[in-house]
């Protein structure tokens, strides 16, 4: 089975997160078996997804980086999903808490993903990213945001709260062979309150400034109530976006999402509607951040 990418998407990346940390108890739309994941991936690409992110799981549902779990799943996905669509595996502590064991698992992979997600604040992040890069796997680093102020930090890719730092700055460790940043946000206004400390870059870099200069190298996403406002905001900036049941279980109108493909189709519609006439909006201009849709409650009413 093979599908074409037939729906144009007006952003650099629209990634579908097929399962994330979700369980069947949370929604019937969460694909669990390898067969269900493959079917969901195919349908999502048909709907417009340009990348597929998966959290490989054992038959009992535990996240795993074991070659015996990752290899067959990636092989099945690649046989069904067209080659230009990158396959992404989440390689965070949720799948393997021990840094040395994580490296050993990855060293044993016989089927490689195109990209892998690494939690930048997790133990062994530099070594893990380097091992992936040496094997030819592009590294996406999850920046666990901190906020300037008392508001709680959002969850990272593995579903844990973000860290707080006294100066409100998220730091990137040196020596990371990153190709892209994944930034989870609690709401569409969060970038104005977040700065990055890039190795060798000198002063802290506001996320808004990074987005204005290199939005195509950043994927912004939110979970649950933040998912749709963040997606619309990212689309206006020209940044990469993410959707799928791993992040959100409801459509923009508040109805339960029946599938990943339905979420992707809704994301494409939203991104097409909010895409600015000019190539990129100014993330520091309040007028460019206004969106009437963001003022609606989860049910879609004003």
| Average per-residue pLDDT for the chain | 81
Q: Band the pLDDT of 243: cuts 50, 70, 90.
A: very high
pLDDT at 202: 58
The residue with greater pLDDT, 193 or 149, is: 193
Q: What is the pLDDT of residue 170?
A: 58
Task: Give the relative orientation of helices 227-237 and 260-274 as an angle to the nearest 10 degrees.
Answer: 40
pLDDT in tens, 46-74: 999 999 999 999 999 999 999 999 999 99
* Predicted pLDDT of residue 21: 93
Query: Interhelix angle for 99-107 vs 125-134, to 10°?
Result: 10
Give the whole-number percent of the chain exceeding pLDDT 70: 73
What is the spatial order of strands in the sheet that 169-171 belongs to?
Answer: 169-171, 195-197, 205-206
Whole-structure pTM value: 0.81
Q: Which residue in this structure is represented by tokens 């996905």?
A: 77
14-295 maps to which CATH number? Answer: 3.20.20.70
Ranking 63-72, 167-176, 177-186, 288-297 by mean pLDDT, the lowest is: 288-297
Pairwise pLDDT comparison (27 vs 294), residue with the higher score: 27
3-state secondary structure the chain: CCCCCCCCCCCCCEEEECCCCCCCCCCCCCCCCHHHHHHHHHHHHHHCCCEEEECCECCCCCECCCHHHHHHHHHHHHHHCCCCCCEEEECCCCCCCCHHHHHHHHHCCCCCCCEEEEECCCCCHHHHHHHHHHCCCEEEEECCCCCCCCCCCCECCCCCECCCCCCCEEECCCCCCCCEEEEECCCCCHHHHCEEECCCCCCCEEHHHHHHHHHHHEEEECCHHHHHHHHHHHHHHCCEEEECCCCCCECCCCCECCCHHHHHHHHHHHHHHHCCCCCCCCCCCHHHHCCHHHHCCCCCCC
**Across 12-38, average pLDDT:** 95
Tens digit of each residue's pLDDT (9 = 90 or more) over 104-124: 999 999 999 999 999 988 899
């Amino acid at each position: 089975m093979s599908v074409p990418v037939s729906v144009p998407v007006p952003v650099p990346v629209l990634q579908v997160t097929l399962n994330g940390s979700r369980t069947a108890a949370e929604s019937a739309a969460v694909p669990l078996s390898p067969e269900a994941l493959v079917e969901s991936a195919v349908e999502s690409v048909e709907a417009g997804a340009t990348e597929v992110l998966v959290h490989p799981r054992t038959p009992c549902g535990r996240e795993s980086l074991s070659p015996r779990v990752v290899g067959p799943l990636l092989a099945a996905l690649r046989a069904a999903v067209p080659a230009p669509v990158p396959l992404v595996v989440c390689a965070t502590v949720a799948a393997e808490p021990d840094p040395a064991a994580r490296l050993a698992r990855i060293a044993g992979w016989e089927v490689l993903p195109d990209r892998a997600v690494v939690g930048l604040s997790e133990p062994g992040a530099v070594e893990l990213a380097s091992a992936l890069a040496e094997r030819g796997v592009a590294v996406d680093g999850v920046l666990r945001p901190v906020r300037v102020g008392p508001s709680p930090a959002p969850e990272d890719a593995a579903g844990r709260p973000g860290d707080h730092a006294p100066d409100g700055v998220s730091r990137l460790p040196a020596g990371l062979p990153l190709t892209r940043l994944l930034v989870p946000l609690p709401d569409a206004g969060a970038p104005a309150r977040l700065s990055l400390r890039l190795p060798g870059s000198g002063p802290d870099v506001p996320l808004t400034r990074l987005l204005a200069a290199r939005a195509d190298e950043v994927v912004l996403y939110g979970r649950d109530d933040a998912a749709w406002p963040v997606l619309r905001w990212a689309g206006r900036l020209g940044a990469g976006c993410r959707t799928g049941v791993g992040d959100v279980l409801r459509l923009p109108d508040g109805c339960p999402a029946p599938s990943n493909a339905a979420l992707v189709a809704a994301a494409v519609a939203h991104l097409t509607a909010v895409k600015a006439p000019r190539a990129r909006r100014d993330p520091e201009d309040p007028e460019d951040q206004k969106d009437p849709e963001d003022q609606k409650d989860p049910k879609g009413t004003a």
